[in-house]
Structures are given as C-alpha cells and as structure tokens.
Amino acid sequence: MERNLEKTYDPSIVEDRLYKKWIDKNYFHAEVDESKKPFTIVIPPPNITGQLHMGHALDNTLQDILIRYKRMQGFNALWQPGTDHASIATEVKIVNQMASEGLTKEDLGREGFMERAWKWKEEYGGIIIDQLKKLGASCDWERERFTLDEGCSDAVLEVFVRLYEKGYIYRGAKIINWCPVCQTTISDAEVEHEEKQGNFWHIKYPIKDSDEFIQVATTRPETMLGDTAVAVHPEDERYAHLIGKKVVLPLVNREIPVIADEYVDKEFGTGVVKITPAHDPNDFEVGLRHELPQINVMNDDGSINEEGGKYKGLSRYDARKAVVKDLEELGFLVKIEDHKHNVGMHDRCNTVVEPLIKMQWFLAMEELAKPAIEAYKKGDLKFVPDRFGKVYLHWLENIRDWCISRQLWWGHRVPAYYCSDCKEIIVSKEVPSQCKCGSEKIHQDEDSLDTWFSSALWPFSTLGWPNNTKDLEYFYPTDVLVTGYDIIFFWVVRMVFSAIEHTDKLPFHTVLIHGLVRDAQGRKMSKSLGNGIDPLEIIEKYGSDALRLTLVTGNAPGNDMRFHWERVESSRNFGNKIWNASRFILMNLENTSIEEINLSELTQADKWILSKVNKLAQDVTDNMDNYDLGIAVGKLYDFIWEEFCDWYIEMVKPRLYNEEDTTKNAALWTLKTVLIQSLKLLHPYMPFITEEIFTFIEEKEESIMISEWPKYKEEWNFEKDEQEIEIIKEAVRGIRNVRAEMNVPPSKKAKVFVVSEKESIKEIFTKAKVFFSTLGYASEVVVQEDKGGIDTDAVSTVIPDATIFMPFAELIDIEKEIERLEKEKGKLEKELERSTKMLANESFVSKAPANKLEEEKAKLEKYRTMMNQVKERIDQLTSR
C-alpha cells in the first residue's frame, strides 16, 4: 500500500467528489429484485418553495442513516424522493412575483397563470433537492416524483372519484378556516396559534319586554352583528327562568332566543355565551343542534357586508372599534378586561384567520378513521416513541370532516363539473362532453384540492398506484416514516386512513418521530426572531458529516434538541481525530504486506480491542433496530475516540516501532481490521469521511456504501482479555491522576512497581509490560508479590488486588500525598457505608435480582480491600 491520506481533511474538496462517485456508480438506485428483501422509506416531500432548514436537515439525516444502514445489511433499500407542489405557499410566491410586475392572476387568466406557475416550478422547484444532495442524502434520484406529476395527479383523481361514489366526499356549506388575504380556505396545518394580548368586552343584552338584561363577554365584538342566540348551561340555576325567552341584540335590534346547551361552561366568565354560527366553529355546531339561522356578516376580504348594517364596508378591525364605541355610547358596554388568548394565524401571510361558512368540498371522516384507529390499537402501526401514538389516537377519535377544497389555481383542480341547465354535478376523472340531460353547457369547479389530499397518497402514488406496478407490489408497503411531531395530525393520520382505504394495507409499520431543532436558548427557530441557522452555512464551514453528527448526537426520538455551534466544532474535531488516526495506521501499513493471522497470534491488547469492536457491532445494531440512533452514535463516538484512538493505538506503538517485535503483524492486522469495522459502523452517520478513508485502507472493495454491515462473531469474543486490559487501564488512570496532582510532566519517567499477592494479577501486568510502561510513563516495570525494595517515600495508587508504587521521592510532597490518600479514604468510607446499608436493607435483599445482589456484594468486598490498602499506605507515610 503506497498511497496515503492528505495531511488534513478538507470536506469542501472531498464531499462533492464522493457524492458524484456514488451517483455515477448508481449506488442509490433500487430495482425490483426478488432475491433481496426490500426496505423502503418515502421522503416527507419538501415544498418546492423551500430552502433547506434545520428541521429538513434533521429529518433527512435520520432517514439517510436508516437507509444506508439497511443497504449495508443487504436489503434492497429504496429511499423514494420527491417534492410537494404546496398550493398556497407556491401561489403566494408567484402572485407576489407578479405583483412586482404590476400583474394579477386575473390579468393572466387561469391557463396563463398555470403556465407561469410551471415555469416557476422548473426554475425554483429543484433548489431544495440540490441542497439535500449537499447533505449527503442517498435518495434514488432516478425515481424523483412531484405531487403534480402525471402519475400522482392520476392517483388524486382516482381517489376523489372513488370516495365521491362511495358517498365519503360531499359538497356543503360548513364553517372553515378562511384567510382574508390569500382569499382561500386553509387547513388546520396552516393555522398557527399565537398568544396575543387582547380584551374581553362585557356587553349587556336586554331581555325582551323586561328591565332585565343578560351579560356576555367576547373577544370579537364585531361578530355580534351575526349573533342568532345567547346560550346558558341547562343546569345553571341563575338563568333557568330566561331559557326560551328572547333578548334584543344591541345595535342590530334583532330578537334572538336564549337557549340551553351543555357546550356552555357555567364556571367561566358570566356563564353566558353569544352564539354566532357563521363565525365560530363551536357556535356552528350549537347552531345546528338548535336549528339557528346562520348570518355571515363578513366579505371574503374580512370587511363587513350588508348584513352588518351601518358598519358595512368597514374592515373587521375598524368595525370592532366602531361597535365598541357605539356600545359604550348607548350604555351596553359594561367593562373591558385585558385578556391573553390564542389567535389563529395563517402561517404563510401572518394574517388572523377568520372562521366563515362557505360552500366547500368535504371528506366524511367517521368511517375512514375506524380502521386507522384499529391498526394502532392492534399494534400493527407503531410509533417511536409510543407516546405519540396516543396523540394520533386522540386526533382520530375526535376527528371532524375534512374540508378538501381550496380557492387556488395552483394544485389539483376539483374533478367536479356543473351543468348550467339542469344543475347536475358530474364527478369524473375525464372531462365530460355533455350532461346526462343532453346539455353541453358544462363547466369545471374552479377550486383546487388541499395539498394534503395528494400528499396523503404519497407512499403508494409514488410507486405507481392506481396501476398495479411491479414497484408497488415489491416496495409497498413501505417500512418506516420519519417525521416531526408537528404533523402527526395533518399528514400521518391522512396517509394511514388513505392507504388502508385504497390499498387495504398500512403505508408503513413504524413512525419514527423526532422533535424540533431549537436555538441555543431553547427557542423555536423563526424568521421573526431572526434565529434561524442555515444548514448550508454549516456544511460550507464544517462539512456535511459534522452537521449530521451534531444533529443526531444525544438526539432521542420525539425530543427537541438545542443547537450549539460548539457541538458542531466538537463533531468536526471527532472527524479530525478519525482522520489523524487513519493516517497513522496507513503510514504504518505503507509498503507493508499484512499476512493473514490466526487469532491465537493476537496479544492481550489485540484481543481486547477486537472483542470491544465486536460487541460494539452488536450493540449498535440493536440500538439502530430500535431506532435509538443517538444512543448508537454515542457508543461509536466513545469507542473510536477513547478505546481505539486514545488507548489501543498508544498500546501498539512500541510494537510498531520495533522491527524485531514478532507481534508487529498482529498489531497491524488488528489496527486495520478494527478501523474498517469502526468506519462501517460509523458510515450511516458520517458517510463522506468514512468513504474517503475506507477506499484508501480497503483495497479489495470499491465503496463502503456497498460493503457488508459488521456482525457479531463469537470467535472474536475475548471476555478474559477484556477484563485484564480494563485492570491495566485502571492502573494507568491511577498513575496519571497521581502524576497530574503532583504536576509531574509526561516526559519524566519513573520506575513503576506493581505489587500483588495474586498470581493472576501479576501475570496480567507481566504480559502487558511493553505497552503498560508506555502508557504509565515508566522507565521500568517491576511486578512483585510484596513491597520489598520499594522506597518508603514512593507514592502509590490502589486498584483492586494490587497497589502501584512510583519511587520518585525527590518530586513528591509527602504531606500532599497523605492528603490525597485521606481524600481517597473518605470516598471509600462513603461507598462502604452506602453498600453496607443497601445489603442490610431487607427490602432490597428480598426484591433485588440475584445478579444485582451479587454485584453489590462484590463491590463491598472490593471497597474493603481498597480501604485496607489505603489505610496501610497512610500508616506507612505518617510513621516515617
């Protein structure tokens, strides 16, 4: 092996080159292969308006880790990519662009606007895909889909027609979320609730033909113009005598009834609620129960319409001021209270959403929800962590019919056609030429479908449904969905009931939920706070691997994480650690032919590290199978940094530098083997640096991506050697701690005595002399049974069954050594007290598992032995 790694790792040079290699080699592509078991993930399709943000980076990093892991395990791994047309977000962008040119949608007409929208998509729609590639996403880009492409559009039309024919899709006037700026209905997903400072206005409603009045409180006094009742709780004795009577609505002078309904909370406020069915979803339901009229007092732009009388033409907020002013002047305003409450805002334009009754298309949810509920209750659908399954269940068990139509042009147009003559509604995938009445005066519904309607079909529409394709048969159902907890209701639920309804199968068996990436102060990243962090900026400065490692380290499913720049630097430093260790190994392998070895040729240290990486493979595999990706990478980090780089490499250096050492070949074989195993385990997390090193050190394979995932091997299990090296390490740590407390520099060597009456301990240290002397800064290592020949001024450290002495009295402050031993004695006294009390506790002894009990007894014995050794040493030093 003659080539070597560059002195420093530069991700800006390496990452683009390697990603191109993977693409050119077609490693990401998956075809139907019955000889392999498939593993499929569909990407949560990012909006074509999107720029890569930290949420995208986390979500896609987790997916890439899983797909790379499964690919290396031999699965036929497909990561299905694509983008979402994002009706509202995209249309807003295009309309704003047109406005800067002095154009409106109406100026272009629907066809002209759609032509412009597709051009916009072609120009800007692929930006986020290119950014995902910078992240290292190993999607099958040959299969990239778009929610408005021909296949996905065909699936949408098929589903609409099927559901309509089954009676699940219907058209009706119901209350919906309305954006007065975007002039469209919006889904719950696009409504963000923000706490805002507002007011409670307390208003008198006079009882008809009486001096009595009833008092209501409202946060939106302008909507009282559309009141059609006031409600009290049927068991509220204060108002029982008023039920059935009428009140005169102030300012409007309309007589409206006093009704009784359990919706009213008699403990809240005055216990009286104004009912405005056309402007509040809860009031709408009350209105249906009591057959109340629905009076809409607002235009689509949020201004007051003719139903608002004298306030007609005012904006909703100007109307509020005018209504309050008139109420006060006429003596109806009792008081105004400050009140903080959640206000629904449209997340696209930051406009307060207005509940309005509109004629819309709806999907009836009651029957569709039942099998989705059953799938979770039976355990066929799992959430990680499981607590989010309860969120899913709660949403489904309380689900309302879904408003699926939008007043937009960009999107899937509702496939409903109206006959101008007989008013017949025709729902069809194909454009009808005439109505059944014979009329050819047919026009299509102007509305488009909610974006979620198409993305609900994503797991199967991307694989060819409604056609029975080979891809669909082989890769579907998919395996795992990775997504944030904020869209369980809006997307996960809809995918599940849609898949069961249209394919008779769940879309996936597991939903891996992650949290949000917050800033260092724990705040949600947002434009308004200006605390967002661009992942591409991190990649440019530190590389993709460093960002990926940062996002997953310490990350537990479902939990939010805080972003700290220091953690990115730490991740970068970890990459440099691996790089430097690999360069060291490669330099020692240079021009060297490693011979195959028999495991019996390995030294104690070789067996220890081989056994460690063997168990690491098993642990990491178990963690990843359980989706504990953060725990898995934590174990990898600790092993590579500490066990391999800081311990083993230092242990073998004397053997590498000694040409006469007969174990040098074993050391080189072990170094290479363990490095390759470590790189493979780390590859899903840090794909670029692991690939670059792997292609240098493993000449037999062309890429780590398609190499075999490490498996546990029983023949690599060296339990005895592991235990022995741990004893050596404890001794080394003790020596280093003592020297550090005494400020002895590493360059100062000293003779080290290992004193033990146990033959097994003496044998361990005798075998380990070569590397123990290096690690312990020893000029010589002497292993003996007693303290004979050891200067009484020697300092010491105690380990189980042995004491380590270092006779360099000229460097030692005896008083400080006694002080240190007294501290150690104090710590041991606490441990002895704790352990003794625990073993004297009958409850613990009777309930603890046998292995736990034995473990505690062994600890107690160890502490007693160490205490005797410490006391003996203190006596020696104080008696001199």
Write out the binding residues. Answer: 527
Binding residues for ATP: 527
Angle at Cα 126 formed by Cα 122 and Cα 128, nearest 5°?
150
Q: CA–CA separation, 92 vs 114, rounded Å? A: 13
Burial of 279 (0-12, 13-18, 19+ CB in 10 A): buried
Element (H, E) at 98: helix 87-99
Residue showing tokens 């002095």: 102
Q: Which phi and psi (to 5°) does residue 201 adopt? A: -100, 120
The token pair that represents 791 in the structure block? 């200067």
Q: Please compute, for residue 213, the number of CA atoms within 13 A of its CA located in the half-sphere on the CB side.
A: 14
* CA quadruple 343, 347, 353, 355: dihedral, nearest 10: -100
Identity at 435, one-letter amino acid code: C
* CA quadruple 830, 831, 832, 833: dihedral, nearest 10: 50
- Residue from 102, 83, 105, 82 nearest 92 by CA: 105
Q: Which phi and psi (to 5°) does residue 356 adopt? A: -140, 155
Identity at 558, one-letter amino acid code: G
Distances (CA, A) of 838 to 441, 577, 849, 851: 89, 43, 14, 15
Residue showing tokens 């077609």: 26
Buried b (16+ CB within 10 A) or exposed e, 672-709: bbbbbbbbbbbbbbbbbbbbbbbebbbeeeebbbebeb
Q: Helices 604-625 and 649-656, interaxial angle, to 10°? A: 150
Distances (CA, A) of 708 to 385, 489, 558, 704, 711: 29, 38, 30, 8, 9
HEC sequence for 813-852: CHHHHHHHHHHHHHHHHHHHHHHHHHHHCHHHHHHCCHHH
Residue 694 near residue 127, CB atoms below 8 Å? no
- Contacts of 179 by beta carbon, 8 Å cutoff, 6+ apart: 185, 186, 346, 348, 349, 351, 353, 354
Pinpoint the alpha helices (H) of 456-534.
458-461, 470-475, 493-503
For the beta carbon of residue 32, count every other beta carbon within 10 angstroms: 14
Residue 372 near residue 49, CB atoms below 8 Å? no
- Contacts of 16 by beta carbon, 8 Å cutoff, 6+ apart: none
The token pair that represents 804 in the structure block? 């380590």
What is the DSSP pairing of strand 425-427 with strand 561-562?
unpaired
- Contacts of 836 by beta carbon, 8 Å cutoff, 6+ apart: 860
Q: What is the DSSP letter of 498?
A: H
The token pair that represents 503 in the structure block? 């394919």
Pinpoint the alpha helices (H) of 590-718.
604-625, 629-638, 649-656, 664-682, 687-697
SS3 283: helix
Q: CA–CA separation, 785 vs 801, rounded Å? A: 11
The token pair that represents 148 in the structure block? 């408005």
Residue 679 near residue 693, CB atoms below 8 Å? yes
